Amino acid sequence: MTEHTGTGTRAAPPYAVTAAALLADCRAALADAGDTPAWSDAELLIFLNEAIREYSQHLPRVAETRLAAVAGVRRYALPADTRALLSVEYPEGRDPAVYLTRLAHKSRRFGQNSSAYDFLPRHDLTAAPSLLLSFDPAAGETLVVRHTQPHASAATANDDLTVPADHHHVLLGYVLFAAARQLQAAEQANPTGGSLMMAQLAANARRHELAYLNALNRILTQRQGESSVVAWG
């Protein structure tokens, strides 16, 4: 499987950035680089993982999975975290490339079509998401499935992030929001500065939340304005 960034380009230097590098930027933005930091590396990594999961809800990464066709087999398991299918190329290697048409598998047209597919998503843990074909593929051919899936949450600080580097400011914004939210929750649980302090912390958390959402929405708006080729028929 070939992995790509959320922009559709293959993740490679200079786009490969470790979680540790981004966490250093987060700590600098928090002005928390003293001898006794308010947030540990582990806490900031938790915030970063949350940010990646939230980002993936809106901007998942794009990947390709190659499936070996088996004669008489119409259903093929996909990676467990597959969110949606973008295209299915079959058979692989034609010039120009040949793509299958997506049709609802419960429709009459699906059974009558010799070049259609449908995506059966995963709704629980009982079955993996799968690709369903309307025809019997030829043995030895390959199906190339282009699909979306969540970005990899950083397991350790040394892992490379799969979120494209030009979107890291969104992750940083979420970390700042999560840190402010944690301060607000701590003050609510154990008040130390009275109502004024609580109001200031709430306002600060809201300010960081809006900054994060604005940064994310700018990217989403830009994506909506991108053109695409639509196949009719």
Give pLDDT tens digits for 13-59.
456 899 999 999 999 999 998 889 999 999 999 999 999 999 999 99
pLDDT confidence of 224, banded at 50, 70, 90? confident
* Tokens, residue 60: 């998942």
Residue 116 and residue 101 in contact, taking contact as beta carbons nearer than 8 Å: yes
pLDDT confidence of 149, banded at 50, 70, 90? very high
% helix / strand / coil in the chain, to the nearest 5? 40, 20, 45
Residue 15 is predicted with a pLDDT of 61
What three-state secondary structure class fits 68?
A: strand
% of the chain beyond a pLDDT of 70:
90
pLDDT confidence of 5, banded at 50, 70, 90? very low
Q: In what order do the strands lie in the sheet with 2-3?
A: 2-3, 61-68, 142-149, 84-89
% of the chain beyond a pLDDT of 90:
78
Task: Inform me whether the pLDDT recorded for 214 exceeds 50.
Answer: yes
CA 77, CA 75: separation in Å to the nearest integer? 7
User: Cis peptide before 96, with omega less than 30 degrees from 0?
Assistant: yes
Q: What is the mean pLDDT of the chain?
A: 89
Longest dimension (CA), the chain: 72
